[in-house]
Amino acid sequence: MLESLGALTGSPWIYAVVGLSVVLDVFLPVLPSGVLVITAATAAAAGSSTAVAGAAQAAGKVTQEVPSLFALFLCAATASVLGDLVAYRLAWRGGARLERAIARSRRLTEAQERLGTALNRGGGALVVVARFAPAGRSVVSLGAGAAHRKAKEFLPWSALAGVAWAVYSVGLGYFGGQWLGASWVGAGVSVLALFAAGTLAAYVMRRPRPATAA
């Protein structure tokens, strides 16, 4: 797998592709932004392993270019926050049409209510959890904008969510490649772990709210 993607993962264009995918998947959740991040991080693991072997065999002369983990993390986290901000601002300006669309969706309405309650109480853990759920990021970012939540209430939690997601995705790819080998096996297990986190996050978001005491 890594051989077929070598031209991309060994080029600075990998950061542009990852960044664009992460920004756009708030609008198109089907984009495989997490898979791209994991693949690039697995390529970094492959490069580090190659470097160790090359040092022992050829005095450290390694020519293969691999992504920088820090640059990959910074790109993924920044793009995540930027995408959230764009969706938030578009929903803020969406007007009555977007409000009607949200009102027709029970899922969007419930998410908007839960988000408002969480932010009013000074906590935005729902924003962080939603970042891992399929389409959860879209629901929360659009819901916050449509409800005209203040930016200072939403964006800090969006930043925390972006950092947490980027650390988790990059870490999965890198350590999966280190422990299981920089091959389709290591990347596949890492992607499954990402999907498992998404499934758990989706369950938490859909869990009924506890009844409040009168």
The ranges assigned to domains in the chain are 6-206
Q: Which residue has the higher pLDDT, 8 or 22?
A: 22
Residues 81, 66: Cα–Cα separation, whole Å: 25
Q: What is the pTM of this model?
A: 0.79
Residues 136, 164: Cα–Cα separation, whole Å: 15
pLDDT tens-place string over residues 38-50: 888 888 777 654 4
CB atoms under 10 Å from CB of 19, counted, come to: 21
Examine the pLDDT at 7 and tell me if it is beyond 80: no
- Residue 205 near residue 133 (C-beta atoms within 8 A): yes
Top-confidence range, 3-7, 74-78, 125-129: 74-78
Examine the pLDDT at 17 and tell me if it is beyond 50: yes
Least confident of 20-34, 79-93, 139-153: 139-153
| Helices 136-146 and 151-180, axial angle in degrees (round to 10) | 170
- Residue 155 near residue 145 (C-beta atoms within 8 A): no
With helix as H, strand as E and coil as C, how does the chain read? CCCCCHHHHCCCHHHHHHHHHHHHCCCCCCCCHHHHHHHHHHHHHHHHHHHHHHHHHHCCCCCCCCCCHHHHHHHHHHHHHHHHHHHHHHHHCCHHHHHHHHHHCHHHHHHHHHHHHHHHCCCCHHHHHHCCCCCHHHHHHHHHHHCCCCHHHHHHHHHHHHHHHHHHHHHHHHHHHHHHCCCHHHHHHHHHHHHHHHHHHHHHHHCCCCCCCC
Examine the pLDDT at 24 and tell me if it is beyond 80: yes
Three-class secondary structure of residue 132 per DSSP: coil
pLDDT tens-place string over residues 78-130: 999 999 999 999 888 876 666 666 667 676 666 666 666 666 655 678 889 88
Backbone torsion region of residue 149, taken as left when φ is above 0, otherwise alpha when ψ lies between -120 and 50, otherwise beta: beta
The residue type of 14 is I
Q: Which residue has the higher pLDDT, 177 or 115?
A: 177
Examine the pLDDT at 163 and tell me if it is beyond 90: yes
Q: What is the DSSP letter of 8?
A: H
Percent of the chain with pLDDT over 70: 65
